[in-house]
Amino acid sequence: MRQPAATVMPVDDTQHLLRCFFEAGYRQHTGEATYGVVLLNHDGAFVAATAGTLPGAFSPLMTEALACKEALSWLKGRDIVIVDLLTDCMELRNMIHSRSTATRSYVGVIVDQCRTFMSLFTYCSLNYISRAVNMHAHTLASLAFDQDQPMY
């Protein structure tokens, strides 16, 4: 199983490190799923954000994995190659960092796609944060349930 890129960043590149917070929303009773992504610079100043709906999610964990994939795709589309991803889903973080995650499930396939995306970055880390710290992305994901189109 391929691991996320574990490159060491030169000291002078830390000034360019962006922090990308992402979150998923999931409504069990309807199967609706959303994502919210907030990008901040190294000083914590707002850079950009996106939110929208996610098709085909069957569980909260699958929704978190799809939100991660959406965030990575959005970052690559913005030509961002140095980033610190932040999630409040410890299970997803552990799956992406694990060597033993089987791809024999829908979530496993998405996790493998996230690992592949991460390997395309010059530097990409995935770290756990508390829900309180991830409130901006959480709010965007919550609001996306009422959107018809993705927000950028």
User: Rounded distance, CA 106 to CA 16, Å?
Assistant: 34
Q: Are the C-beta atoms of 49 and 36 separated by less than 8 Å?
A: yes
Residue 99: what pLDDT? 74
Mean pLDDT of 45-51: 96
Rounded to two decimals, the pTM is 0.86
Distance in angstroms (rounded) separating the CA atoms of residues 84 and 102: 25
pLDDT digits (tens, 9 = 90+) for 64-116: 999 999 999 999 999 999 999 999 999 999 999 997 656 678 899 999 999 99
Task: Label residue 124 by pLDDT band (50, 70, 90).
Answer: very high
pLDDT at 152: 75
**Domains with residue ranges and CATH for the chain:** 16-146 (3.30.420.10)
- Say which residues have a Cβ less than 8 Å from residue 95's Cβ, sequence separation at least 6: 65, 101, 107, 108, 111
Query: Over the chain, what is the mean pLDDT?
Result: 88
